[in-house]
Every structure is written in structure tokens, then in C-alpha cells.
């Protein structure tokens, strides 16, 4: 890597979050860094984009030696703005998102703003990684993941990944024992079981507050939930093509269109 790689950094926790600062510091060891990130937290936004409203973009002097911008948009908006406006004359060698403050394992990848920034990068044909720390504590420690962020990003820069693929990387919380290693695995079969609390505002108008519990149905040892529970870093290669290819033949064989 004689020429410094150009690395685009984004996230969903906002440009002032601890996780993005850690990520920027690691990426500066690997290349030239440009940041385009939301101006406020955007967790759970999924792949939402801003349509019919203004998008604002402001340059920020927040990371030493790094060109950085904050946007009023979603994580996906940020990557779009970076690719087509901020870096319109340049091609990023890598897109990284995070480090998210909280897990994005299993089904959470669908709701994750962190992963949507990475997947938007993959949509643009760029090698992309989403990093998340499975610790929701306000005092969560990130120091134990830095070497893995560096190693994984370096591997992608040197070896590449398949077109249209974004890596969903999750780290276990800091424990007494060191991380055991890395597992390249599949997404666990699990889901969020939602609960809705019915409440009333001071004016007597009803509203709902969504909560719920994460339910893991997966008993396998080859998935991201198992990896995190057993103190491994999990890497799940993700794609944006949601076609259920196995269902095409079933529909063609079993459905009787001539009966209509």
C-alpha cells in the first residue's frame, strides 16, 4: 500500500460519539480519513433516506488532521453525500461505520443505522465494514477492540471483499479474559419480541412506548450470537440482494396462475 488509502468514516451515534472517535484514530493509522456523520444520534434508522426535507451539511473541526462534516441526514444519507458531493472527484478505498455503542448482531442488522451506512457503501461498489460493540453501558470500554478494528480493516484494504458485500463486525464487551479470536459466521436466527406500553401525555392524549426483549432461537455454534457469548469477534458478510432464491422455484412449481 504505497499510496495512502482514502477511508470514509460514518456512523449512526452522531459525530461527537466516543465510538467514532476511536474508529477515526484507528483509521488514521491506515490511510487518509474523511468523516461524514450525522449531527445527532440516528440509531434504529435502518436504511432510511431523507426525501422531501432539507439536507444540511457543515464542515466540523472536531478531529485533528481530519476533514470532517456533520449532516442533518441519516447514516445512509451521509454516505450518499460523501460519495456524490464531498468526495465526488475521488473514490474511497474503504467505507467504515461505527463503532456503534450497542450490538448489531442477528436481526438487528435490518434496523441498524450503523450497518446501513456500510451497506450503502457496498451499494456503491465500495469495500465496507460496520463495527459494533455489544455493550450498552454509558461507561463502555472500547480499548480492547482497537487492534481488531485495525486488523480487519487492513485485511479488507489488502485483500478486498466480494462486490456488494458489507461486513457486519461485532465485538464482545470488555471482560476479564482477552478476546479469544475472530469467527467468520452467519447471522443467528433470533428476533426482537416487541412490547408496547400504552401511556398518556399531559394533555390526556394516548401514545405508545415500544420496548421488548431479544429472543435467540438459534442453538448452533456457527452464528454471531454464539461468537459474542463466547468472547469472539463475529464477522458476518452481508448483502443487499434480499431475493429468496430458493422460493422462486417453489412459487413457479406450486402456484397455478391458469386458475385465475
Can you list the alpha helix ranges (DSSP code H) found in the chain? 18-27, 75-81, 108-111, 113-123, 146-159, 224-229, 245-254
CA 146/CA 26 separation, integer angstroms = 7
- Asked if 157 and 127 touch (Cβ cutoff 8 Å), the reply is yes
254 belongs to an annotated ligand binding site:
no
40 belongs to an annotated ligand binding site:
no
213 belongs to an annotated ligand binding site:
no
135 belongs to an annotated ligand binding site:
no
CA 75/CA 234 separation, integer angstroms = 22
User: Where do we find the cell 461468537?
Assistant: 227
Q: Which of 93, 97, 61, 64 is nearest to 79 (CA)?
A: 97
Phi, psi of 76 (to 5 degrees): -65, -40
| Contacts (Cβ under 8 Å, ≥6 apart) of 36 | 8, 9, 10, 57, 68, 69, 71, 78, 79, 81, 82, 86
For the chain, percent helix, then strand, then coil, each to nearest 5? 30, 30, 45
**Residues annotated within a binding site for a divalent metal cation:** 12-13, 43, 100
**Residues annotated within a binding site:** 12-13, 43, 100
Amino acid at each position: 500500500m504505497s499510496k495512502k488509502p482514502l477511508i470514509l468514516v460514518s456512523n449512526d451515534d452522531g459525530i461527537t460519539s466516543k465510538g467514532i472517535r476511536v474508529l477515526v484514530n484507528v483509521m488514521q493509522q491506515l490511510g487518509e480519513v474523511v468523516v461524514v456523520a450525522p449531527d445527532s444520534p440516528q440509531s434504529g434508522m435502518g436504511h432510511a433516506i431523507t426525501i422531501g426535507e432539507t439536507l444540511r451539511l457543515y464542515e466540523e473541526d472536531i478531529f485533528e488532521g481530519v476533514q470532517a462534516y456533520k449532516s442533518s441526514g441519516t447514516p445512509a444519507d451521509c454516505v450518499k453525500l460523501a460519495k456524490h458531493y464531498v468526495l465526488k472527484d475521488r473514490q474511497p478505498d474503504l467505507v467504515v461505520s461505527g463503532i456503534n455503542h450497542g450490538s448489531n448482531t442477528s436481526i438487528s442488522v435490518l434496523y441498524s443505522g450503523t450497518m446501513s451506512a456500510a451497506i450503502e457503501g457496498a451499494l456503491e461498489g465500495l469495500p465496507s465494514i460496520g463495527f459494533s460493540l455489544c455493550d450498552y453501558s454509558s461507561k463502555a470500554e472500547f480499548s480492547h477492540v482497537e487492534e481488531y478494528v485495525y486488523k480487519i480493516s487492513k485485511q479488507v484494504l489488502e485483500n478486498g471483499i466480494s462486490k456488494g458485500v458489507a461486513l457486519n463486525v461485532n465485538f464482545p464487551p470488555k471482560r476479564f479474559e482477552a478476546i479469544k479470536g475472530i469467527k467468520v459466521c452467519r447471522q443467528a436466527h433470533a428476533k426482537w419480541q416487541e412490547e408496547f406500553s400504552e401511556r398518556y401525555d399531559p394533555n390526556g392524549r394516548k401514545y405508545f412506548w415500544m420496548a421488548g426483549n431479544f429472543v435467540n432461537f438459534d442453538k448452533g455454534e456457527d452464528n454471531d450470537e454464539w461468537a459474542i457469548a463466547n468472547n469472539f469477534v463475529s464477522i458476518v458478510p452481508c448483502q443487499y440482494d434480499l431475493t429468496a432464491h430458493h422460493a422462486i422455484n417453489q412459487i413457479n412449481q406450486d402456484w397455478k396462475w391458469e386458475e385465475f
